[in-house]
Chains A and B, each alone.
Chain A
Amino acid sequence: MTQIQDKPLAAGRKAKTAGRLGRPSMFSMLLRDKFATVAAALLGVVILIAIFGPALMGELATKQNLMFMNKPPFDPANGWAYVLGSDSLGRSMLARLVVATQTTLLVAVPAVLVALIIGSLWGVWAGYHRGRRENISMRIADIIMSFPSLLLAVVVLFVFSPSAANIVLILAITRIPIYMRTARAESAELQSRTFVDAARTFGTKPNSIILRHVIPVVTPTLLTLATLEFCFVMLAESSLSFLGIGIQPPDVSWGLMVAQGRQYLQTAWWLSILPGLAIVITAVAANVLAAWMRIATDPAQRWRLTLDKQTKKSLTAVIKDAK
């Protein structure tokens, strides 16, 4: 067993000293994986559109033009504004998609961040202390998990105003247990390790052990989870908007656009299909990036991304021989 593991490691070390790489940066590792590079670029474009798009095309998105009702997309005769077609009020689909990008991300990103921070800190704390604090925290997570989130959404919609901030709140609360469970499991395992014991022996306070020794170790796992969760939260927001209990008109999100276009499906397919495609592409990109992060942040697998093609080939051959 040790022999099998030693060979590629030795070869890897040789390759590293031969090349100019010491410990490769995340960026150079990203460029090694073509799929991940494309995914990261796509997400970057989506984020740029979300930040700058509405300022450029906001007016166009609300401008109605009854001469251009339900124009099909990809028809150069209609001019660049209608390149993706227009809706039943003659508004440009391109501009509306751009504005919806911002709404969608403004819900998904804060929801993921809030859930990530609260859930991870709580989970790490519970896992580090074990005992009663752990049990109570996990029961709370169970309760949140088994609560019908739709009901929560409807309550917030009717009791408070149906704003984007409230949807962020609901999505964050319902996703906190996911991070809690992962963080608790990891930190419960870590707190029995020797280096944590050593810190404890030197009289370090629990909070600073958590902050300095536990959190840095669990962060990569949790960040990967957050990338996957971004995909889930975006889909959840679309579903809520689709059911009419998420983003409310005149605001517009991708999910809401799919819902609004549903009744025109037979006459104007692009009203539903295009925003749906936007959701799918963004979600797939986030998924691919998460898969790459899982490898890049795992010390046992990272070597796959640090080597150039030639060494990788010989390495794989070495591993095969060893097997």
Chain B
Amino acid sequence: MSCTALEYASIWNALVVLFGVLRAAGGDDGVALGSLAILMLGLVKCLEWIERYLRPKVIDYFVAHFRQQAQDWFNKGLAFLGFRVYTALVSLLLGTGYYFLLKAAIRFPSYWTILIPFLVVAFLAIAVVGYFVSGRVPDDPEARWRYCKRFYVPTVGGVSLVAINLVSDLLVGLSAALFALLQVAFQSA
């Protein structure tokens, strides 16, 4: 069974009348509170679904994925630099997190006064985390520096990826503008 256009119109009309009656009875605040109470029910159900079903699955996937990557990275020769598999895992996760943070920062350039100091502090904080999750780093400054460099590899990789993205976007935009200009020039010639 389906409704005709006339029935849809009368349903819409009834809703508009109901809205008017509710607004007259409860005022704007009452209507807003009522509609927010209904809308928040949907939002809270969505939150519940994500917390119960989606989040564990996502975490399982990412932890398994990054653990495998960390294991491979560790086996490539990080073992004697003060790395454990856990250290490599944390390093990869922080690098990925920093990548997303940079992408988010680029999306909101008007907040640069907050974002730039935050990014600098976050970049430095990675070294602090690296200190706390390190394994047996040989006791000399050169070894500590080598450990630090390796710990930063995923983060620097993320930063480079963002930079490459930016440059490629810029080049594509510039070439598109250039072609548009050439087209205009040829048409007017």
A and B part of one assembly: no
Chain A residues in the interface with B (C-beta under 8 A): none
